[in-house]
Amino acid sequence: MAFQKKAPRLGENKMRTMPVGRLLFSMALPLVISMLVQALYNVVDSVYVAKYSQNAVTALSLAFPIQNLQIGCSTGIAVGVNSLLSKSLGEGNRERANKAAGNGILLTLIVVALFMLFGAFGAGAYYDMQPISQETRQAGTEYTAICCIFTAGIFVEILGERLLQASGRTVYTLYTQGIGAVLNILLDPLFIFGFAPLGIPSMGAAGAAVATVIGQWVAAILAVIFNLTRNPDVRFSAKYLRPQGDVVKKILAVGVPSMIMMAIGSVMNFGMNQIFLGFPNIGETASGVFGVYFKLQSFFLMPVFGLNNASISILAYNYGARQPKRITGTLKYSVGAALGVLLLGVLVFQLFPEVLMSIFTDGEQTGAEFIRIGVSALRIVSLHFPIAAVGIALGASFQALGNGVYSSITSLCRQLLALLPAAYLLSLTGNVDAVWWSFPIAEVVSIIVTLLLYSRIYQQKVKPMFAQK
């Protein structure tokens, strides 16, 4: 006689019953740890590459918009699935939860195919359109092509992790992201510099890409295994892969704004790189610093995003369960925690900028200018971290409550309508250090818009639930 594990009753789900502060901490901690490890391997990539070639550092900086778009599309689909699945579980609708997971897998496969085509046929053209040296162009083309052709790893990993998060099983993402990141860190020097005993040639930036995709694929495999064996709230079946118009629409209603938000980030990164490349003699150095800054800030922003991912699941579940006090309580804890993390980031960037930037040089004379520009960048840009903490934490409510378009609006205001114009105008001074002030300026604009939109969504969706109690 076959025995089947009994699924827990919906009323017993910890997102409905556990005290909000402890719930957020317990769900966010594995995500924060795994994202810190992920941030570490992003930094390690650039540290190793910097020892190989400064041109390769710039190549990775220029590759960031494409990688950001990959993460944006994969996260967009996953966040849409997460929101619908959490809400469905909160309402007790398991069938719709299963359809959300299945249709999310279908959408993921479609987008993966598009990125593979770009990697095979578009990577070279992307670098040809930029005013860079031949060495930078070759390194960037190889790195981007490998990351895109084997992009399925990151897509499957992120979707699998969001399925676990949506049902409150965030602890397993610690294993998926952590093991993948550690593997990447260990493989980086082998493929970048080569390892003769194993017959591995020196591959430079391409080696960093190989290590990255191997880590992503291992994490993806683990995510699939955990969902099949440890996630009883979601049932996987071929019938759920059939497109369901209403389900796809609801996934995309939240996911597309998230994708647009990340796409806006890619456009911003591309635009900022072009502004920096326009400075005579120091253009590639400034662009490299810009890329390194983004890697370093990830040590503080990635934990905040991990906190946000946990809060989105809690907010969406309790929105479906009509528990307004748990919604506002989650947001208060989330804002406080985000502020704590990013205030620490301000202190580190203000006190130790020289130490941080020197890690990314090869000790040659060219490193002196790289460090000088980087020190100014870290000290100026970090001033906006506390403002960003509030905006990011409150922004989780937009996706969780089904108004993902609000996230796109705030991102659009910050990165395109404020940041790029401000950066361009400041670049006209001829002083590359002045350009960094565009970040604090843009964040002030963004927080004003975020507070206005949060007030609107609170009045429309949260406040009425208090009246119903």
Q: In angstroms, how far apart are the furthest CA atoms of the chain?
A: 78
pLDDT of residue 411: 82
Q: Quote the tokens at residue 67.
A: 């990688």
- 164 pLDDT higher than 60: yes
Which is more confident, 394 or 17? 394
Highest mean pLDDT among 32-46, 197-211, 406-420: 197-211
What span, in angstroms and rounded, lies between the C-alpha atoms of 136 and 58?
7
Amino acid in the structure at residue 448: I
- 43 pLDDT higher than 50: yes
pLDDT of residue 244: 79
- 251 pLDDT higher than 70: yes
Lowest mean per-residue pLDDT among 9-13, 114-118, 176-180, 409-413: 9-13
Sign of CA dihedral 83, 86, 88, 93: positive
Render pLDDT for 281-291 as a digit per residue (tens, 0 to 9): 889 999 999 98
Which residues pair with residue 200 across a beta bridge? 195
Render pLDDT for 429-449 as a digit per residue (tens, 0 to 9): 999 999 999 999 999 999 999
pLDDT of residue 13: 64
When pLDDT is averaged across residues 308-316 and rounded to a whole number, the result is 85
| pLDDT level of residue 390 (50, 70, 90 thresholds) | very high
What span, in angstroms and rounded, lies between the C-alpha atoms of 311 and 423?
33
What span, in angstroms and rounded, lies between the C-alpha atoms of 142 and 379?
33
pLDDT of residue 423: 96
Lowest mean per-residue pLDDT among 94-103, 383-392, 414-423: 94-103
Render pLDDT for 50-67 as a digit per residue (tens, 0 to 9): 888 878 888 988 998 898
SS3 of the chain: CCCCCCCCCHHHCHHHHCCHHHHHHHHHHHHHHHHHHHHHHHHHHHHHHHHHCHHHHHHHHHHHHHHHHHHHHHHHHHHHHHHHHHHHHHHCCHHHHHHHHHHHHHHHHHHHHHHHHHHHHCHHHHHHCCCCCHHHHHHHHHHHHHHHHCCHHHHHHHHHHHHHHHCCCCHHHHHHHHHHHHHHHHHHHHHHHCEHHHCECCCCHHHHHHHHHHHHHHHHHHHHHHHHHHCCCCCCCHHHHCCCHHHHHHHHHHHHHHHHHHHHHHHHHHHHHHHHHCCCCCHHHHHHHHHHHHHHHHHHHHHHHHHHHHHHHHHHHHHHCCCHHHHHHHHHHHHHHHHHHHHHHHHHHHHCHHHHHHCCCCCCCHHHHHHHHHHHHHHHHHHHHHHHHHHHHHHHHHHHCCCHHHHHHHHHHHHHHHHHHHHHHHHCCCCHHHHCCHHHHHHHHHHHHHHHHHHHHHHHHHHHHHHHC
- 8 pLDDT higher than 80: no
Q: What pTM did the predictor assign?
A: 0.77
pLDDT of residue 7: 43
Count CA atoms closer than 13 A to 256's CA, side-chain side: 7
pLDDT of residue 365: 47
% of the chain exceeding 70 in pLDDT = 95
| pLDDT level of residue 111 (50, 70, 90 thresholds) | very high
pLDDT of residue 202: 92
pLDDT of residue 2: 40
